Structure 1
Amino acid sequence: MRAHSTLTRRLLASTVPVALLLGLGANPGLADPMIGTNINGYGIPGAIDTPSAEMLPDATLGATLNYSDLSRKNALVFQILPRLTVALRYARFDSRPNGNSETRDHIWDRSFDLRFQFLDEDPDGWMPAMAVGLQDFMGTGFYSAEYLVATKTINPRLRVSAGLGWGRLAQDGGLGSPFGDRPGPDTEEGGKPNVDQWFKGEVAPFISATWQANEKLALTAEYSNDIYACETGIAEECPRGVWLSDKDELKNNINLSASYQLGENYQVSGYLLGGNHVGLQFSVAMNSSQAPYPSGIEKAPAPVRPRVAPSADPDGWSGAWSADPTAQPAIQKVLSDALDKEGQTLESMSLSANRAEVRIRNRRYMQGSQAIGRTARLMTRALPPSVETLVITTSEDGLPTSSVTLRRADVERLENSEASQIANVAVISDADPRPGDLTYTDGLFPRFRWALKPYLSTSIFDPDEPFRYEVGAEAVAEYEFVPGLVLAGTVRQRVLGTTKQEAPGNLTVEEYEDMDTDYDENGVPRVRSDSRMYAGNSSPTIPRLTLSWYAKPTETVYTRVTTGLIERAYGGVSTEVLWWPTNSNLAIGAELNRVKKRDFRDVFGFRDYEVTTGHLSAYYTFGYGIRGQLDVGQYLAGDKGATITVEREFANGWRVGAWASKTDLSDEEFGEGSFDKGVSISIPLGWGTGEPSLRRVGGDIRSLSRDGGSKLRVEERLYDKVRDSQAGKLYQGWGRFWR
């Protein structure tokens, strides 16, 4: 094989993986991606250990549990875009004593995968689907591999995949190194993309075939050059040199499996690796577009009430009623009661002979457009016939965000039409922050709300204990003095759990407290690495107790000031300003905080460490429900840098995102992981129950808790508070306007 120039090798090694990200805007002329049903041992569509060019249905969230005597691999996979698959894996394998830890004889390793399908198959021709992928592309690289793969449907029951693999997929049967030698991974600190490894070293072929025996059973065979060289001791050198390497070698390169579909979402598989190693796998996949209750099970809204003819109500049509001072209070009371039954709070109202504006707080519906639609219906039933202009303004804790203006005649005319038709005649604008002639609903303020409920706190992906949990009771209370001035707090009492108070490093709790310092050996403030010192309290804790003031000084500017116990580890003052016109895809924000570290046990006590932290932030909403965010500023440890966040939100409320922060801390100062990164998942509770609700389940998943790149955890930040009532989000969920 002719050797490539150094420049050619570098271009090929860099531009192929970069295409994974640049290809997000896939050519609209392409057909729909090839969809696969079989999940391989790494948690992505494929055969057994080799990949395919198949995708999962868009917005599918899946998980796998894979076990054999060679490894244990647990993975989360998400089809973030129709052609882009991402996976987060957590794998365990045995290690030599003291190879990686003085206390463990095994390693839990975290890894990420990316796969992009850049070509779809031609079902009537010879062209296959093709994809490029990066497997375990940063950090320790225990399972590091890159590949190009093609998949072709031979007939409705048979699909064949073939490709070329590097790294893990080329441990045997190499054909040469077309792009240069493959350096070993940098495992001193880990967590960095191993760019210099991508598509380097030996390349080897792989091939697989899957036969769909019937609707439930699929049989797969593959030829793989992943021969588990480190696990079986064949390889002389393996990452970190900690593999136990005492397993039997594979007898051959053939792997076989049988997969059985259990209902629509579950799959169980048994497989044989190399003729002598048996394994089992369980997979689950949920498609966000296929909710258990697609239309919801909420009660139908009240129908629109068409106005009577002018001859039947001449006083109502003339507007003479507006001169009666008792008219608005009576109408506002009737409308307030009706909205309350629909899960809306009528905050204030203005009323004239031909125009009515209501400011509502949506307490129930995930899609703000559904709350607006139901409010419009009720307004047609409560208002005199002369009122033609309906203005529905969404309020978030006293912040008027956006106003939807409708002609009453359009509401009456289009009730039984598609939601897009009412969207075409609706006008969404920035809400006027001035109260004008708005009248607050009697008895609404001050408002006191409270709830007593159980809580579950979990921690995953820790090398010492992969899953930790805490269960207890939580009391939440909120007192709103006037619109925008809110006192809120939470009290928790732990009942049981595996989470316990622990000191960082190898110190005991007593030793760490005796040191009386909030700095590590490198002089970096311990702003998060000692977070377990706040856990395991048997006495009640107060995670949050704050007084917040929200205001809107102009039509496009929002402000917030929060003071008190802001989060479990910090108290102080947090200020924020956000510029966001309702019809703009761009928002700009700034936040400045002065906080002090809280005591580990005394809920009202503080330690010596205090810091000023803050960021300038830019938010942009792209097409396809994708949101990007850039934060630049100073973090809790005093380090300076930036955070990039990318999130996709689906029409049904699912949110999946990822973030990465890089600051001026060196790799040594930051520690294992090199920089802060993680993924987030947020699923509306109503998606699974069918009942309308604003509650969500999910959270952040990060590989490690480090001090660098750590931000203050402030609840009710302005962007998150107002995002659901901005024009872009309202239009995204407009299909539920008439629901």
Structure 2
Amino acid sequence: MRAHSTLTRRLLASALPVALLIGQDAAPGRADPLIGRTIGAYGLPGAIDTPTAEMLPDSTLGATVAYSNMARRNSIVFQALPRLTVVLRYSRVESTEERRGYIWDRSFDLRYQFLDEDPNSWRPAVAIGLQDFLGTGIFSAEYLVATKTINPRLRISAGLGWGRLAQQGSIGNPFGHRPDPDDEEGGKPNVDQWFRGDVAPFVSASWQATDNIYLTAEYSGDRYACETGDTEDCPRTPWLSDEDELKNRLNLGLTYQIGQNYQLTGYVLGGKQLGVQFTVAMDPRQSPFPSGTEKAPAPVRPRVARNADPEGWSGAWSADPTAHPAIQKALGDALADEGQVLESMALDANRAEVRIRNNRYIQQAEAIGRTARLMTRALPPSVETLVITSSQDGMPTSSVTLRRSDVERLENTEASQISEAAVLSSADPRPGNLVYTPGLFPRFSWSLRPYVSTSLFDPDEPFRYEVGAQLSGEYELMPGLILSGSVRQRAFGNKDQDAPGSLTVGEYKALDTDYNSNGVPRVRSDSRMYSGDKGPTVPRLTLAWYAKPTEDIYSRVTVGLLERAFGGVSGEVLWWPSNSRLALGAEINRVKKRDFRDVFGFRDYEVTTGHVSAYYDFQNGISTQLDIGKYLAGDKGATLTVTREFANGWRVGAWVTKTDMSTEDFGEGSFDKGVTLSIPLAWGTGQPSLRRVGGNIRSLSRDGGTRVSVRGRLYDTIRDSQSGQINQGWGRFWR
């Protein structure tokens, strides 16, 4: 019986990832996933505390804040794929055992809808889910749930739940006993608990009373054992509150839809506890300015008839030594008005090649399209072949070759037609007869902007921040050789070196060591020591050299103060043919830990790190990256990153790192993982810009599995101007 239980449990535990792998390419003709109408207190489509089989519209990104005397839950939800919903949650639970009177718990959920609702029969939508499967166990649950639309206003959901969803009303434990959590620090998949222990039914109903009001009722197996001090069903005995037990298992809620993106919900738990919730959800693909507000490009200028300019059509002009400089200056000035830099140009009677640096448009295809238009206006009529080469930090990446006659003929057609006429290839790294634009190098640029630095999920202070001013500068001595840096001056914030419950600055420095009591180097756990400076700081000051030795190989060497905590030298090579989905790279770093206060001082700890990396673009907006090597603390392992990018430049991703550092040495969290969000400013302003906001969201800053932060890594530098990204954004060629 035990062998049967173990086998069944493993099959069920594998159901979610297996369904994910095979479900996306199932037979054609599948209906769209059943879309939810309300968000539950756990941040997913659902009733109040019980799940449903509903999804959000694909790519929806949302946030939920739910409050009751039982718990405070802050959730970020993302519809990663049409049938896969993911949630990162940060919850506060009152505790009689903690000195602060509460604990903050981090948890992560997955839900996958593997069966569609059939509107022409009684077949419901069916989903499987894992709740808090990477946390400490207080909200841990698994479920199988079905949802059916009875009529346009009424939906019914019913399912079976384990763990948190089966604290009462059990109908048995068909797959064996649910073991107590054995990971006091949390952060590891609690696979041995999945779909084990008592199982209990739950049911919910949602009724759309008006266009904006939804009424919800549910019958739940969650009786809030931890929150009411019931030690028998609480997996974390010290995490106890002293709230009164609920009167019954019935929860009621009312949701009011505010516009398209907001919901306000009030609910009653068990006939006793009141709660309120606010939700915001948006589709990153739907910009407030769908078409942008940038000025229209200059139109294509058709060539005059041959008899109107016989010298221009004959190519005799190319023998004039003043023609090339004059044309290059005129085209360079026109491109500058478009936010682009004409680095160099080669010109003869029939062919023109330009190397451009796009400083404005989030889609490289738009920069190429505008350049093609301007070339028709600046070049003599005999020039038929147009070659537009994209350049990043002095490295030519990819070339687009067009016939001028095609540009003239297809200007007012769909972008797909000019795409079929264009040839994309890896750029030739040799300068050939290219002539650099006079006076372009050396180049100096600077900016003065406010900055906001944040830190999330600290158990004592969930949100830490620092606000100030940052002066940044860049001096490009020659193409590919760049001196850059920044200076920050703090204005205010609560990110300080002296954190409650931690060593003071004096106590920390008195230790005179960069290793903790387990012998693990403090490479990130002392990040607070680099905060709170009253005077100016220098986060970064580097000299970088970028080169392209062959058509498919790129290189980078960076030396200096690489980041706020480390300085040294970093070297990297990347193999990436322009038309390839696959890229391979290798990086090695020799770094030393910087002083907390002395801008140019260093501490004793130094280490050599390095990784080999593989990148793959699925060309459906999803890309993956696998890094294998040695990390800052000397541990060895791998990092897997999965990112989804939309046509407007939004990027949402997640990563996980596992190394040979033990759970005990790593500490709370067990291994490194997190999510990343990058939002182009152009999405919100309508004005073209390459600037982005966002960053990484990780549960905790620990020493294991962390890399040195080097600005300008090759893959990120050249990715937007490679053929794959250009093709994905080709719809903006004529923008």
After TM superposition, is the score higher than 0.5?
A: yes
User: CA shift at 1:394, angstroms?
Assistant: 0.5
Alignment of 1:253-268 (within 5 A): 253-268=249-264
Q: 1:20 to 1:472 in 2, by over 3 A?
A: farther
Which residues of 2 match residues 666-705 of structure 1 at below 5 A? 666-705=662-701
Partner residue, 1:53? 53
Q: 1:492 aligns with which of 485, 488, 492?
A: 488
Q: Map of 1:441-460 to 2, 5 A cutoff?
A: 441-460=437-456
Deviation per residue, 1:587-606 (Å, 9 max, x gap): 00000000110000001000
**TM-aligned CA deviation for residue 281 of structure 1:** 0.2
- Match for 1:104: what amino acid? R
What is aligned with 1:32? 32
SS state of the match for residue 142, structure 2? strand
Displacement of 1:504 in angstroms is: 10
What per-residue deviation string (whole Å, max 9, x for no partner) do you get for residues 497-531 of structure 1? 01101479732210110111000111111111111
Compute the displacement of 1:678 (Å): 0.8
Alignment of 1:520-559 (within 5 A): 520-559=516-555
Q: Compute the displacement of 1:328 (Å).
A: 0.9
Distance across 2 between alignment mates of 1:544 and 1:735? 37
* 1:421/1:478 CA distance change after superposition, 3 Å: same
| Equivalent in the alignment of 1:479 | 475
Q: Which residue of 2 aligns with 1:9?
A: 8
**How many angstroms does 1:628 deviate by?**
1.1
Deviation, structure 1 residue 263: 1.1
The yes-or-no answer on 1:314 pairing with 2:313 is: no
- Secondary structure of the corresponding residue to residue 590 of structure 1: strand
3-state SS in 2 of match to 1:578 = strand
SS in 2 for 1:376: helix
Q: Quickly say closer, same or farther: Cα 1:431–1:666, change in 2 above 3 A.
A: same
Partner of 2:402: 406
- Conserved in 1, the CA contact under 8 Å of 2:9 and 2:196? no
Partner AA of 1:575 in structure 2: G
CA distance in 1, matches of 2:186, 2:662: 13
**Corresponding letter in the other structure for 2:623:** R
Task: Give the percent of matched residue pairs that are identical in Structure 1 and Structure 2.
Answer: 71
Cα 1:659–1:651, aligned 2, differ >3 Å: closer, same or farther? same
Q: Work out the CA distance in 2 between the residues paired with 1:15 and 1:448.
A: 55
Measure, in 1, the Cα distance between the counterparts of 2:527 and 2:20. 34
Amino acid at match of 2:404: R
Structure 1 unaligned spans of 5+ = none
SS of equivalent residue, structure 1 residue 330: helix
Deviation of the 1:188 alpha carbon:
2.2
Alpha-carbon distance in structure 2 between the residues aligned to 1:640 and 1:43: 35
Encode CA deviations 1:341-377: one digit per residue, 9 max, x unaligned.
1111111111111111111110110000010011111
SS at the partner of 1:311?
Answer: helix
Alignment size in residue pairs: 734
State the alpha-carbon separation in 1 of the partners of residues 294 and 116 from structure 2: 40
Give 3-state SS (helix, strand or coil) of 2:203's partner: strand
Unaligned runs of 5+ in 2: none
Match of 1:363 in 2: 359
Match of 2:90 in 1: 90
| 1:343-422 map, 5 Å | 343-422=339-418
In the TM superposition, 1:198-237 aligns within 5 A as 198-237=194-233
* Contact 2:396 2:548 (C-alpha < 8 Å) held by counterparts: yes
Instruction: Please report how far the alpha carbon of residue 6 of structure 1 lies from its aligned counterpart in structure 2 after TM superposition.
Output: 3.2
Quote the Cα distance in structure 1 between the aligned partners of 2:13 and 2:244: 37
Q: Post-superposition shift, 1:17?
A: 3.1
Match of 1:635 among 631, 635, 640: 631
Partners of 1:504 and 1:529 within 8 A in 2: no
- Asked if 1:195 is matched to 2:191, the reply is yes
- Deviation of residue 19 (structure 1)? 2.5
Structural RMSD (CA):
1.4
Q: Secondary structure of the equivalent of 1:231?
A: coil
1:607-632 deviation per Cα after TM superposition (whole angstroms, max 9, x unaligned): 01110001000111124211111111
Shift of residue 437, structure 1, vs aligned partner: 0.6
Structure 1 SS opposite 2:175: coil
Query: Structure 1 residues 460, 315: closer, same or farther in 2, change over 3 A?
Result: same
- Pick from 506, 512, 527 the counterpart of residue 508 of structure 2: 512
Amino acid of the structure 1 residue aligned with 2:690 = L
Provide the C-alpha distance between the structure 2 equivalents of 1:429 and 1:614, rounded to a whole number of angstroms: 31
Shift of 1:24: 5.9
Please name the residue that 1:64 is paired with. Answer: 64
Please state how far the C-alpha of 1:186 moved relative to its aligned partner. 2.3
Whole-angstrom distance in 2 between the partners of 1:718 and 1:140? 38
Q: Structure 1-normalised TM-score?
A: 0.98
2:360 corresponds to which letter in structure 1? R
Query: AA paired with 1:25?
Result: Q
**SS of alignment partner, residue 537 of structure 1:** coil
Structure 2 counterparts to residues 128-167 of structure 1, below 5 A: 128-167=124-163
* Aligned-pair CA distance for 1:737: 0.7
Task: Name the aligned partner's letter for residue 33 of structure 1.
Answer: P
Deviations 1:401-448 (A, max 9, x none): 000111111111111111111111111100000111111111110000
For 1:57, what is the secondary structure of its paired residue? coil
Paired with 2:85 and 2:12, the residues of 1 have a C-alpha distance of: 20
Are 2:619 and 2:724, in contact at CA under 8 Å, matched by a contact in 1?
no
State the one-letter code of the partner of 2:200.
Answer: A
The offset of 1:130, in angstroms, is 1.0
SS in 2 for 1:229: coil
SS in 2 for 1:387: coil
Are residues 1:289 and 2:289 paired? no
Q: Which moved more, 1:233-242 or 1:460-469?
A: 233-242
Mapped to 2, the partners of 1:326 and 1:187 lie a distance apart of: 76
| 1:11 CA drift (Å) | 3.8
Q: Residues of 2 paired with 1:313 and 1:555: CA distance?
A: 39
User: Residues 10, 206 of structure 1: CA spacing in aligned structure 2 closer, same or farther, 3 A cutoff?
Assistant: closer
